[in-house]
């Protein structure tokens, strides 16, 4: 079937929404947001307010303000998630570089024997070479001009690695014991930790591209701990593995390990309460606030 829907002006878009039962109290404001945010983008946020998916009619009493409130929450939620990921990424960079350099020396990354796949390691080295050659960071320029090594020491390299590169390098390590040098510092097993890092890179990219987050379902989910840490195991929702809730539990645990006095969890609860969000759509279990991670 060929697509044949016509382009609609902002006024026509509003008329269509109103014909489906949406309350629009301030037409100029609604047109402003439709113009800047895109009808199609906003449609993902009014979907939860639909009463009938065949007629696309809205639940009685649904207003444009309700949709905008959900959109604003999701935007603030993404920024809040990025705040947590930034702290975790910086911490893991530091722990990974320190652990490998302490055990194998400043250029541990060049030792192919430490990694599972020679070809993947070779490609990863080539990728780092490109990153170094393009970098304008003063510390990289200094190291390149002063030393003959074709790559800087690992403790410098990690500062220009993307989170995706960091996750990939961690996953390439051959020995479980080398992975656990890092994972155990967060009270986690290396297998779960590697999976979590990969999942967090996907989550970070979703946030960076401004994609809907609050009620999304992930195709790449983290491997969930079964035994340790107990605080995570006892706080998970195993019936909603593709929702964001379990990721939030993991983020809180990692932040607890990195910065025990953090306010991230409390600020998240405040954000949810401020916008009156139905957290069940995010995968939160009933009475989640009674679970250990939330205390």
Residue at 118 is within a domain: yes
Q: Per-residue pLDDT tens for 52-65?
A: 888 999 999 999 99
Q: Is the pLDDT of residue 1 over 90?
A: no
Q: pLDDT band at 183, cuts 50/70/90?
A: very high
Total number of domains constituting the chain = 1
Residue at 206 is within a domain: yes
Residue at 25 is within a domain: no
DSSP for 156-208, please give it: HHGGG--HHHHHHHHHHBS-HHHHHHHHGGGT--HHHHHHHHHHHHHHHHHHH
pTM: 0.95
Cα 86 from Cα 288, distance rounded (Å)? 25
Q: What contacts 147, CB < 8 A, 6 or more positions away?
A: none
Q: Give the pLDDT mean for 188-211.
A: 97
Residue at 127 is within a domain: yes
Q: Per-residue pLDDT tens for 67-105?
A: 999 999 999 999 999 999 999 999 999 999 999 999 999
Residue at 96 is within a domain: yes
Cα 158 from Cα 155, distance rounded (Å)? 6
Identify the pLDDT of residue 2.
87
For residue 147, the enclosing domain spans 71-294
Q: What is the mean pLDDT of the chain?
A: 96
Q: Per-residue pLDDT tens for 146-169?
A: 988 889 999 999 999 999 999 999
Residue at 24 is within a domain: no
Residue at 32 is within a domain: no
Identify the pLDDT of residue 149.
81
Q: Give the pLDDT mean for 267-292.
A: 97
Chain centre distance of CA 100 = 26
Cα 282 from Cα 263, distance rounded (Å)? 21
Q: Per-residue pLDDT tens for 201-248?
A: 999 999 999 999 999 999 999 999 999 999 999 999 999 999 999 999
Identify the pLDDT of residue 144.
86
Q: Per-residue pLDDT tens for 19-50?
A: 999 999 999 999 999 999 999 999 999 999 99
Residue at 75 is within a domain: yes
Q: pLDDT band at 145, cuts 50/70/90?
A: confident
CB neighbour class for 1 (10 Å; exposed up to 12, middle 13-18, buried from 19) = exposed
Q: Per-residue pLDDT tens for 262-278?
A: 999 999 999 999 999 99
Q: Per-residue pLDDT tens for 99-132?
A: 999 999 999 999 999 999 999 999 999 999 999 9
Q: Give the pLDDT mean for 250-271.
A: 98
């Amino acid at each position: 079937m060929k697509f044949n829907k016509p382009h609609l002006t902002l006024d026509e878009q509003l008329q269509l929404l109103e014909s489906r039962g949406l309350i629009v109290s301030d037409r100029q404001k609604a047109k402003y947001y439709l113009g800047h945010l895109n009808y199609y983008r906003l449609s993902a946020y009014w979907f939860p307010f639909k009463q009938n998916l065949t007629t696309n009619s809205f639940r009685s009493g649904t207003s444009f303000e309700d949709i905008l409130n959900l959109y604003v929450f999701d935007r603030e939620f993404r920024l809040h998630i990025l705040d947590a990921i930034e702290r975790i990424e910086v911490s893991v960079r530091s722990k990974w570089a320190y652990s490998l350099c302490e055990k194998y020396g400043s250029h541990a990354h060049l030792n192919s024997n430490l990694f599972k796949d020679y070809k993947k390691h070779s490609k990863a080295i080539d990728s780092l070479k490109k990153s170094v050659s393009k970098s304008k960071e003063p510390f990289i320029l200094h190291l390149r001009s002063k030393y003959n090594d074709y790559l800087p020491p690992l403790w410098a390299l990690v500062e220009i690695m993307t989170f995706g590169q960091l996750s990939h390098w961690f996953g390439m390590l051959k020995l479980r014991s080398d992975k656990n040098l890092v994972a155990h510092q967060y009270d986690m097993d290396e297998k779960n930790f590697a999976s979590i890092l990969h999942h967090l890179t996907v989550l970070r990219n979703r946030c960076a591209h401004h994609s809907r987050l609050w009620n999304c379902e992930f195709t790449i989910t983290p491997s969930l701990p079964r035994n340790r840490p107990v605080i995570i195991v006892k706080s998970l929702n195993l019936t909603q593995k593709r929702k964001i809730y379990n990721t939030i539990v993991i983020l809180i645990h990692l932040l607890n390990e990195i910065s025990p006095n953090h306010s991230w969890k409390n600020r998240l609860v405040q954000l949810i309460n401020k916008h009156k969000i139905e957290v069940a759509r995010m995968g939160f279990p009933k009475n989640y606030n009674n679970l250990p991670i939330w205390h």
